[in-house]
C-alpha cells in the first residue's frame, strides 16, 4: 500500500513489484528463472538440411484511397477493390502472384487511421514494403506512419507513385515530399527506388514487379523448407460451417493438413488447409499465406504459431499460457492503484456510454476498439463491454440489456432470435460496413449522452423609475427600457447594484393601460414579476433567453 498498490493478502502481484517490496524490506530480490515448457519445446525442434531460397513477402502500405488494392488488383487481374465496402480495405488480405518464374506473396493492409496496429503487423511479417503514394495527393499522415512501421521493422522500401494518369499528378512534388520524411529517390541522389505507376492503365506495373524481384534476389531470402512450420497469424475470424478460422503466413518449415498447431494458448489439429484462392491444399511451404480451420476460437492477429509433434508437451504449454493469461487478467482486475481511485472519483458524475462490438475478424475488432478508445472525450465515460468476432447473438443482447449498451455490428448481422429479443427489449443494434461510418455513429451516441450546452442571451434591460401597487397584478415596477427590448413571458433577473437578488419570470407587461407583448428601447412600461414584490427604484430588470445546443465532440 505504501507503494500505491491496493492489494489484499491473497492477491497476486507481478514479479517486478514483488522484487521492489523485497528490496524495500532490506533484502535482495532474485527473479526466479524456471525453464518453461515453451523453451523445452523449442529446444526439441530441429531443422535438418541447409536453408534454401524462399519467395519474397511484400506488404503494400500507404494512405487510404491512394490505390494500394487497385495496384494489387491489376497485378492479379481480379476485382478485390469492388468487393471491399466503399473501396476501403478493412482486413489483411494475402495473395500470391506468379511473374517471370518468381512467386511473390503480397499482403494488402488497410490505410485507414484506425488500422495502424494491423499495418504494423503487416510490416513486421514482411521482407519488402511497397509504399503507395498518389501522384495527385502526395505524402499524407498515414504514408509517413506506414514508412515508420517499415523502418522500425528494418524492411526495405520501394515507393510506387500511383495515379500518374491523372491530369493533376505531380511526381516531382511527391519526390520532394518523400525526401522530407527520409525517402530520398535514386535520381535525387538517394537510395530509394521510386516507380511511377498507374493502376488504371497498368503503366509501370511490370517495372514495379521487376524491382521487387531484383531486390528479393539481392536480399537472398532463405529459410528451412523441411521441418515443422512456424509463422504468424495475419487475420482471424468466424466462418459459417467452418467455425474459427485464421489466415497464417508460414515463415519457416512446411505446414501440412492434419498438423497439430499451437497458437497462443490453444493447441488444435488443423482440419482444413486452403490457399489464398480458397482451394483445398495438402501442404503450404514458407512465404505462403494459408487459411486454416479447426481452431477453438479466433486467435489474435499478430500471434505466432508453431507446429508441435510432441502432443503432451504442447498441451502442457497451452495450459501454462492459459494459466499465465488468466493470472494476468485477475491481477489487472484485482490490483487497484491509489492513482486510479482518485482519478475515478470525478467520473461518477459523467454519463457512461456502453458499447458491444461484434465484427467479422479479430483484426477489425482490435482496430475499432483502439479507435474508439482513442476518442478524446472528457465529459463522458466510454466503455467497451465486449468486443468479439461473429454474428450478434442472444447472449450479446442479454449483455446489452444488463449493461444498457448499444450493439454495433461490423460486417456481421444478428441471428433471428437475437433480432427478436433486441426488439422486445428495445435494444438498439446498428450495422456497418465502413469503419468511418461506425466511428461517426459512436460519436453521435456519445454526443446524445452529453448534457446540451445552455447559452444565455440578454434580450433587454429596463431600469425601475417608480413602483406602485395594482389590485390585479400586485407590485408594478414603472420602468424605462434602456437596452434592447423587454418581452413578456421570458425569464428575468432583478439586479441591485449589479448584484442578482432575484431570478424569475416576467408576469405582466403594460404600456400605459394596455397590455403589451414587447416594449422596445427608450420606451416606458409597467413590469410585473411573478411571485416577487421587493422591487425598488434604481433596480435593473434584465430580460434574457436560454438556448440549448447539442454538444459536439
pLDDT at 94: 78
pLDDT, mean of residues 100-105? 81
Model confidence band, residue 553 (pLDDT cutoffs 50, 70, 90)? low
Residue with the bigger pLDDT between 457 and 94: it is 457
pLDDT digits (tens, 9 = 90+) for 403-451: 888 999 998 898 888 888 888 888 889 999 888 888 888 888 888 777 7
SS3 182: coil
pLDDT at 43: 58
Query: Lowest-pLDDT range, 32-41, 43-52, 108-117?
Result: 108-117
C-alpha cell at 135: 501522384
pLDDT at 493: 93
Residue with the bigger pLDDT between 345 and 413: it is 413
pLDDT digits (tens, 9 = 90+) for 346-400: 555 567 788 999 988 877 887 888 888 877 777 778 888 888 888 888 888 888 8
- CA triple 8-12-13, angle to 5 deg: 100
- The neighbour count for residue 178, using CB atoms within 10 Å, is 26
pLDDT higher than 50, residue 135: yes
pLDDT digits (tens, 9 = 90+) for 47-94: 767 788 888 888 888 887 788 878 888 887 643 444 444 444 334 467
Model confidence band, residue 512 (pLDDT cutoffs 50, 70, 90)? confident
Looking at residue 50, what DSSP letter applies?
Answer: -
Measured between alpha carbons, how far is residue 290 from residues 89, 102, 277, 361, 551 in Å?
A: 19, 18, 9, 16, 48
> Would you say the pTM of this structure is higher than 0.85?
no
Model confidence band, residue 109 (pLDDT cutoffs 50, 70, 90)? low
- What are the strands, taking DSSP E only, across 177-335? 193-196, 222-223, 230-239, 243-252, 255-256, 260-263, 266-269, 272-274, 283-284, 289-295, 304-307
pLDDT digits (tens, 9 = 90+) for 249-271: 888 888 998 888 888 888 888 88
pLDDT at 269: 87
The number of CA neighbours under 13 Å toward the Cβ of 410 is: 30
pLDDT higher than 70, residue 338: no
pLDDT at 169: 85
Q: Specify whether the CB–CB gap between 369 and 118 falls below 8 A.
A: no
pLDDT digits (tens, 9 = 90+) for 184-229: 888 888 888 999 998 888 888 889 989 999 998 898 888 888 888 8
pLDDT digits (tens, 9 = 90+) for 303-322: 888 888 767 767 777 776 77
Rounded Cα–Cα distance for residues 417 and 393 (Å): 8
Model confidence band, residue 339 (pLDDT cutoffs 50, 70, 90)? low
Rounded Cα–Cα distance for residues 407 and 442 (Å): 10
Rounded Cα–Cα distance for residues 299 and 263 (Å): 7
Mean pLDDT for the chain?
81
pLDDT, mean of residues 5-11? 76
Residue with the bigger pLDDT between 513 and 332: it is 513
Rounded Cα–Cα distance for residues 397 and 407 (Å): 8
Query: Lowest-pLDDT range, 177-181, 294-298, 309-313?
Result: 309-313
pLDDT at 350: 67
Rounded Cα–Cα distance for residues 508 and 506 (Å): 6
pLDDT at 160: 92
Walk me through the domains of the chain, giving residue ranges and CATH numbers.
1-33 (no CATH), 52-223 (3.40.50.300), 230-322 (2.40.30.10), 349-449 (3.40.50.10050), 453-549 (2.40.30.10)
Model confidence band, residue 502 (pLDDT cutoffs 50, 70, 90)? very high
Rounded Cα–Cα distance for residues 432 and 359 (Å): 10
Model confidence band, residue 494 (pLDDT cutoffs 50, 70, 90)? very high
pLDDT at 375: 78
Amino acid at each position: 500500500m505504501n507503494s500505491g498498490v491496493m492489494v489484499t493478502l491473497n492477491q497476486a502481484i507481478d514479479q517486478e513489484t514483488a522484487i521492489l517490496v523485497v528490496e524495500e524490506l532490506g533484502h535482495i530480490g532474485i527473479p526466479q528463472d524456471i525453464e518453461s515448457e515453451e523453451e523445452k519445446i523449442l529446444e526439441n525442434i530441429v531443422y535438418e538440411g541447409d536453408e534454401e531460397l524462399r519467395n519474397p513477402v511484400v506488404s503494400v502500405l500507404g494512405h487510404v484511397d491512394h490505390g494500394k488494392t487497385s495496384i494489387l488488383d491489376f497485378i492479379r487481374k481480379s476485382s478485390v477493390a469492388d468487393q471491399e465496402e466503399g473501396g476501403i480495405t478493412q482486413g489483411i488480405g494475402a495473395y500470391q502472384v506468379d511473374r517471370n518464374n518468381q512467386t511473390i506473396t503480397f499482403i494488402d493492409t488497410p490505410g485507414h487511421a484506425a488500422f495502424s496496429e494491423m499495418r504494423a503487423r503487416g510490416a513486421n511479417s514482411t521482407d519488402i514494403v511497397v509504399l503507395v503514394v498518389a501522384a495527385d495527393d502526395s505524402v499524407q499522415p498515414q504514408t509517413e506512419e506506414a514508412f515508420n512501421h517499415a523502418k522500425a521493422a528494418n524492411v526495405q522500401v520501394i515507393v510506387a507513385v500511383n495515379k500518374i494518369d491523372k491530369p493533376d499528378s505531380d511526381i516531382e512534388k511527391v519526390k520532394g515530399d518523400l525526401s522530407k520524411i527520409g525517402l530520398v529517390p535514386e535520381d535525387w541522389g538517394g537510395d530509394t527506388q521510386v516507380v511511377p505507376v498507374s493502376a488504371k492503365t497498368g503503366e509501370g506495373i511490370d517495372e514495379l514487379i521487376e524491382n521487387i524481384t531484383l531486390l528479393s534476389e539481392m536480399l537472398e531470402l532463405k529459410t528451412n523448407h523441411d521441418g515443422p512450420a512456424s509463422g504468424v497469424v495475419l487475420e482471424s475470424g468466424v466462418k459459417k460451417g467452418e467455425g474459427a478460422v485464421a489466415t497464417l503466413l508460414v515463415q519457416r518449415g512446411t505446414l501440412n493438413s492434419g498438423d497439430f498447431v499451437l497458437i497462443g494458448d490453444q493447441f488444435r489439429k488443423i482440419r482444413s488447409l486452403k490457399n489464398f484462392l480458397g482451394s483445398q491444399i495438402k501442404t503450404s511451404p514458407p512465404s505462403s499465406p494459408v487459411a486454416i480451420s479447426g481452431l477453438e476460437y479466433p486467435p489474435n492477429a499478430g500471434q505466432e504459431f508453431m507446429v508441435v509433434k510432441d502432443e503432451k508437451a504442447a498441451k502442457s504449454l497451452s495450459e501454462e499460457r492459459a494459466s499465465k493469461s488468466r493470472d494476468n487478467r485477475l491481477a489487472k482486475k484485482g490490483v487497484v492503484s491509489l492513482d486510479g481511485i482518485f482519478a475515478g472519483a470525478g467520473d461518477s458524475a459523467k454519463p457512461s456510454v456502453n458499447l458491444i462490438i461484434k465484427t467479422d475478424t479479430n483484426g477489425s475488432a482490435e482496430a475499432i476498439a483502439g479507435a474508439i478508445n482513442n476518442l478524446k472525450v472528457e465529459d463522458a465515460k466510454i466503455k467497451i463491454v465486449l468486443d468479439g468476432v461473429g454474428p450478434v447473438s442472444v447472449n450479446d443482447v442479454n449483455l446489452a440489456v444488463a449493461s444498457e449498451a448499444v450493439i454495433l455490428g461490423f460486417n456481421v448481422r444478428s441471428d433471428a432470435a437475437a433480432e427478436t429479443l433486441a426488439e422486445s427489449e428495445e435494444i438498439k443494434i446498428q450495422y456497418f460496413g465502413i469503419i468511418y461510418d461506425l466511428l461517426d455513429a459512436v460519436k453521435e451516441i456519445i454526443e446524445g449522452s452529453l448534457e446540451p450546452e445552455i447559452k444565455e442571451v440578454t434580450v433587454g434591460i429596463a431600469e425601475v423609475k417608480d413602483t406602485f401597487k395594482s389590485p390585479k397584478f400586485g407590485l408594478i415596477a414603472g420602468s424605462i427600457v434602456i437596452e434592447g427590448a423587454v418581452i413578456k413571458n421570458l425569464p428575468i433577473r432583478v439586479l441591485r447594484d449589479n448584484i442578482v437578488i432575484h431570478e424569475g419570470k416576467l408576469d405582466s407587461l403594460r404600456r400605459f393601460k394596455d397590455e403589451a407583448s414587447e416594449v422596445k428601447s427608450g420606451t416606458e412600461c409597467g413590469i410585473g414579476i411573478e411571485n416577487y414584490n421587493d422591487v425598488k427604484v434604481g433596480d435593473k430588470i434584465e430580460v434574457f433567453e436560454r438556448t440549448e445546443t447539442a454538444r459536439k465532440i
